[in-house]
Structure 1
Amino acid sequence: MNFDKPVDMTRATHYGNNYFEVYSRKLKRIVKLFSSLEYANFLTLEMNPFVGKFCEQPLEIEIILEDKPKKAIFDFWVLYSDKREEMQEIKYLNELNEIDEKSSRSKEQIRRQKLWCEENKISHIIRTDKDIYAGRFYIKNLEYLAAKSRRYIPLEDNFYRSLVLNTLKATKKITISDMVKFEILPIGHEMDYISYLYYEGIITMDIATRPIDGKMEVSLWQINH
């Protein structure tokens, strides 16, 4: 499957409580998101080097249940770099655990999606706020990194990338402040370049449990060891 263009939706037709339009470097287009949780999930996809591409609101399906046509729209389609695909539904955990009309509506939507995915042999994943907010600082840090890397085009990338790779191969870990001190990052664009390398899957940091500052330690992604 391949989805490049989202289903045309107006804000009034969606149950989300916030609306975002944000440029995706990975997709090279504006992405429209209908809740703060969808926006947070977008950040996890945009900044995940193992995600090749994705599409928000990719498909409206129609299946027959109880002899009646029923419709549903997925929140995300994801294609990973290893060619795995999945459809994602984004929900707050308490919305699935409550016993009320909204919860019943969500469960029915998920039921339709799962049946369609089973018929079409594609994985169906429910991602809740518990899954998406992987740590106290995770989404806020991803938002910072995404904003810094979104339109940044590094100059002398080969030169500085070589400096970073050689340093990290020798030291295993180094703080951002030391990277600045030893001038292995472009002067004046240090955090832009850090964010760019994270986006590219060259470096990793413990962004889940602490804020990004000079004391943050940087290491190589395992795939680049």
Structure 2
Amino acid sequence: MYKPIPIKRSDRYGSSFWDGYSYKLQRNVHFFGDLKYDHWILVETDPNILKYCERPNSEKLQQNNLHKAFDMWQLERNGKETFLNIRYKNQSDTNHERLEKWCTKLGYDYKVLYEEDIRGQALYLKNMKWLLPYIGQRKPPIETDKRHILRALGDQNKTIGELQSICSTIPISRIRENIYFLIYSGELIATNIKEVELGIATEVKRIG
């Protein structure tokens, strides 16, 4: 498995240094640059991505002199592994062909993501930034609350506001923590998360 190449705030002047916590990985993550941080938000909150590693390093990568070549490696539920680089449009990427060829040879996908790929859906990104602090280092939500909410939801689509009314015996803060965690874990889909701000108007449904 891969381990991140360590970085410190003092390693690079003039770039934003971001320090976050990944509930998915159960460890701290660090990034230089706002775009890489925004990309991490999308990866961390994507239930289809099981694992990832920023600035991946391994013996295999070192042997091929690729231990500083990629910004991230990620593993999806279907077993697909992808190496990624994050770029602004004005950044040159002379190694693209070489990296893609190496990944293809070993059965990996290779992607270069640009600003529009990451920030193109601004409201969705904003919602994920709002959702993530509810996850962070907190423990999973109370199981009895979860069962109550899922029973109230049933097989229908309901807004968070409707669920708050139905589950009025549970404090609103706990209802939201449960729902946000279920969205994060992939047990619920927020059907209009790209159209409305995360809150009482957000509509959720069960998977399947």
- TM-score scaled by length of structure 1: 0.79
- State whether residues 135 and 209 of structure 1, in contact with CA within 8 Å, keep that contact through their aligned partners in structure 2: no
The answer to whether structure 1 residue 176 and structure 2 residue 126 are counterparts is no
CA-CA distance at 1:146 after TM superposition = 0.9
CA-CA distance at 1:125 after TM superposition = 1.0
Work out which of the residue numbers 178, 187, 195 in structure 1 matches 2:180: 195
Name whichever of 39-48 and 125-134 sits farther off.
125-134
Work out which of the residue numbers 137, 148, 153 in structure 2 matches 1:163: 148
What is the count of residue pairs matched by the alignment? 204
- State whether residues 7 and 30 of structure 2, in contact with CA within 8 Å, keep that contact through their aligned partners in structure 1: no
Describe how 1:109-128 pairs up with structure 2 within 5 A. Answer: 109-128=95-114
1:41 aligns with 39
- State whether residues 63 and 112 of structure 1, in contact with CA within 8 Å, keep that contact through their aligned partners in structure 2: no
Work out which of the residue numbers 141, 145, 158 in structure 1 matches 2:131: 145
Partner deviation per Cα, 1:33-63 (whole Å, 9 max, x = no partner): 1111111111111111111100000038579
Partner deviation per Cα, 1:103-127 (whole Å, 9 max, x = no partner): 3xx3113334223323433110112
Partner deviation per Cα, 1:64-106 (whole Å, 9 max, x = no partner): 9xxxx888420000011121101011112x22xxxxxxx3xx3
SS, match of residue 73 in structure 2? strand
Rate the CA distance shift 1:111–1:14 in 2: closer, same or farther, 3 A: farther
1:31 aligns with 29
Inter-partner Cα distance in structure 1 for 2:99 and 2:168: 48
Describe how 1:46-125 pairs up with structure 2 within 5 A. Answer: 46-59=44-57, 61=61, 72-92=68-88, 94-95=89-90, 103=91, 106-125=92-111
Rate the CA distance shift 1:155–1:72 in 2: closer, same or farther, 3 A: closer
1:100 aligns with none
Partner deviation per Cα, 1:106-158 (whole Å, 9 max, x = no partner): 3113334223323433110112222222423111110111111112324531x
Inter-partner Cα distance in structure 1 for 2:158 and 2:188: 11
- The letter of the residue matching 1:179 is L
Name whichever of 200-209 and 26-35 sits farther off.
200-209
Runs of 5+ unmatched residues, structure 1 = 96-102
Inter-partner Cα distance in structure 2 for 1:84 and 1:184: 42
Give structure 1 regions of 4+ aligned residues with deviation exceeding 4 angstroms. 10-16, 60-64, 69-72
Runs of 5+ unmatched residues, structure 2 = none
Inter-partner Cα distance in structure 1 for 2:74 and 2:169: 32
Rate the CA distance shift 1:204–1:113 in 2: closer, same or farther, 3 A: same
1:98 aligns with none
Rate the CA distance shift 1:154–1:7 in 2: closer, same or farther, 3 A: closer
Rate the CA distance shift 1:121–1:13 in 2: closer, same or farther, 3 A: farther
Name whichever of 196-205 and 9-18 sits farther off.
9-18
- State whether residues 121 and 194 of structure 2, in contact with CA within 8 Å, keep that contact through their aligned partners in structure 1: yes
CA-CA distance at 1:26 after TM superposition = 0.3
Alpha-carbon RMSD across the aligned residues, in angstroms, is 2.7
CA-CA distance at 1:160 after TM superposition = 2.7
- TM-score scaled by length of structure 2: 0.84
- The letter of the residue matching 1:18 is S
